[in-house]
Amino acid sequence: MTNDERQYLIDFANEARKRAYVPYSNYPVGAALRTKSGRIYTGVNVESAAYPTTMCAERVAVFKAVSEGEREFEVLALVTDNGGSPCGGCRQVLAEFGLDTVVLMADGQGRLVLETTVAKLLPEAFTPAHLPRKAG
């Protein structure tokens, strides 16, 4: 991936971040997920007064992609004010679709803070391979 491609995805996520609904935390998060088909799906965090029902930007992007038939991801750009990292729930959902997915974490100024993979974010991940297969 080129530096221009990285920056394009970061900028895409940063633009999406403006649409986050964060009246409680005031911590807007934007995500841009590029699939192997080349399509990009965005996500933002959406909070609720019933805190456990809040949804993270990363999962919104993944769920949008999956709902459109995508199952293979290349890279996820994540933008927060301070370059924060995906939560455990988001790491687990990302692992479902591939430990080799690249994760770009950037700050609100659009600067890359860390480039890593889902495998590095979630070592010893529990994946579909751990589940028994039904004969049939």
Alpha carbon 73 to its chain's center: 10
Residues 42 and 4: their CA atoms lie apart, in Å, by 18
Residue 113 sits in which domain range?
3-130
Q: How does pLDDT run across 46-73, given as a tens digit for each residue?
A: 999 999 999 999 999 999 999 999 999 9
Q: How does pLDDT run across 19-40, given as a tens digit for each residue?
A: 999 999 999 999 999 999 999 9
Pairing status of strand 40-44 against strand 102-106 = unpaired
Residues 36/72, Cβ–Cβ less than 8 Å: yes
Catalytically active residues are: 58
103 burial class (0-12, 13-18, 19+ CB within 10 angstroms)? buried
Q: Pick from 7, 75, 86: which is nearest to 41 by CA?
A: 75
Domain count, the chain: 1
In a domain, 118, yes or no: yes
In a domain, 136, yes or no: no
In a domain, 135, yes or no: no
